[in-house]
Chain A
Amino acid sequence: MNNPQLDTDGQLRHLLSIEGLPKKILNQILDTAESFVGVAEREVKKVPLLRGKTVCNLFFENSTRTRTTFEIAAKRLSADVISLNVSTSSQSKGETILDTVDNLIAMHADMFVVRHAQSGAAHLIAKHVPPHIHVINAGDGRHSHPTQGLLDVFTIRKYKPELHNLRVAIVGDVLHSRVARSEIHGLTTLGVPEVRVIAPKTLLPAQVEKLGVHVYHDIDEGLKDVDVIMMLRLQNERMNGAMLPSSEEYFKTYGLTQERLALAKPDAIVMHPGPMNRGVEIDSTVADGKQSVILPQVTYGIAIRMAVMAILGGGAGATL
């Protein structure tokens, strides 16, 4: 199968989704990110790898956190960064995505970080650009958000290095979540033996079991003895029609409270990709509690994005 993410030597050329990435490349990204964590603690929080390169953040859909962390990551690699909020620029005047990209290539952009509400937007750009240009998917529709999936896996590995012994629960709006899909692929590829998804039927994609997960509709049952709880945001803005009675009702049935957290293993960690709806999917005492690793996730997100850009930006790709 032709995998547009890899070049003919099997090296990473674009990062579009975790699906289709061999374990070796996933581990390479995670290991490289490990080296970048320490860079942020130095007097000079920068390394010179992408000096003289231009990274374009193309955000056709808003996301402050993702855009900011990509921007910081690129700057810590010494790249010049341009962040375009395309929803308010040429697109509104009728320019197509590929015309926007071609114009930026004419300005000598070297790498594109793409966020779009349509699934497949980053693939479209990756297929279009010349070989020396790299594309990173920063979230496309309901499809994929590979760097978020990678940073979640990285966070898990940091706190629970024995991936082969873990029980991980993903709780909430799996149907609308591109993060959940990326996480499931990452976790199963790296050998996590048990991934559970916990959600009402209306928030699960059809045939979700085929991704290799165990499905629970009762959160109290699903959280029993898990090592990791990954909460998902209730994606209000993506909901068409009434899939749920109300957010209060959702909190009662699926919200993560201290009582529910106690069902998991005593040293379980709690994660959330942000932004959080406090009191909807997660109680404030849990979000701010000692088992929460939600802020370290943000910190590690920068190291992961640095690793991906550094692997893509050098030579003919990674040397494995």
Chain B
Amino acid sequence: MTDANTPLDNSQLPNAETLLHTLATKLTPLLKPNTALVGIHSGGVWIMQKLLVLLEDAIQLHHIEHGTLDVSFYRDDYAQRGLKAENRPSQIPFDVENKHIILIDDVFYTGRTTRAAMNELFDYGRPASITLIALINRGGRELPITPQVVAADLLLNASQHLQLTQLADGSLALDLTPQHNSARP
């Protein structure tokens, strides 16, 4: 944990690709039959795509399926902010009923995205369980929700906005910017 009184800058951020390997290692024991991976757009989907490659053997062994969620239609700030211009179709190409779902997000912050994602998942069926994994837990949750597996904890100020970005070569990187109004994850 870092001290919230001395804000981090970009140079102090961990390497996202290294964190991915940590996350893959921690995720391995959770991969078993009747499990499915679900990435939350956009960062969670990128992470899932990387995990599908890193954990290919276990995923094939246990026939683990995967899907994506765009939680735009379930967000709790719709009445204030309206619908985002860019939303993508959620794609859950398997039966959610009785599945162990591993929900993947990039940066865990308030827990509101997770709540929206869980609400959406239940509209597909009743899962046996949901496990939340995230690359980073940045602190600041506002709901009784917390990720079970994270690659790193970083304590950031509310004025800082941490975002996962995908570079031109397909690799992932973390980016820290001053908080702007529409960018709360």
Contact = CB atoms under 8 A, between A and B. Distances in A.
B124 A314 contact: no
B112 to A, nearest CB: 14
A35 B77 CA distance: 19
Given A311-B83, A314-B79, A314-B81, A35 B73 contact: yes
A35 to B, nearest CB: 5
Chain B binding site: helix, strand, loop or mixed by DSSP? loop
Interface stretch (A26-34, A90-98, A184-192, A207-215): A26-34
B180 interface: no
Given A39-B73, A49-B73, A44 B123 contact: yes
Contacts of B90: 35, 38
Interface in B63-82: 70, 72-74, 77-82
Contacts of B77: 315
B83 A319 contact: yes
A42 B88 CA distance: 16
A82 interface: no
B85 A318 contact: yes
A310 B82 CA distance: 8
Interface string A35-50: 1011100111011110
A35 B88 CA distance: 6
B89 interface: yes
A222 interface: no
Contact of A314 (B78, B86, B122): B78
Nearest to B97: A43
Given A35-B90, A37-B89, A311 B82 contact: yes
Given A43-B123, A315-B80, A48 B73 contact: yes
Interface residues of B, number: 27
A42 B125 CA distance: 9
B98 interface: no
B81 A34 contact: no
Contact of A315 (B82, B87, B88, B125): B82
A318 B123 contact: no
A320 interface: yes
Contacts of A31: 85-87
B89 A28 contact: no
Contacts of B87: 31-32, 35
Determine which residue in A37, A311, A314, A316 has the highest number of CB atoms from chain B within 10 A of its CB, and name it: A314
B41 to A, nearest CB: 10
A110 to B, nearest CB: 11
Determine which residue in A43, A317, A318, A320 has the highest number of CB atoms from chain B within 10 A of its CB, and name it: A43
B128 to A, nearest CB: 15
A320 B125 CA distance: 32
Interface string B78-110: 111111111111110000100000000000000
Contacts of A42: 123-124
9 contacts: A43-B96, A43-B123, A47-B74, A47-B123, A48-B74, A49-B83, A315-B77, A315-B79, A315-B80
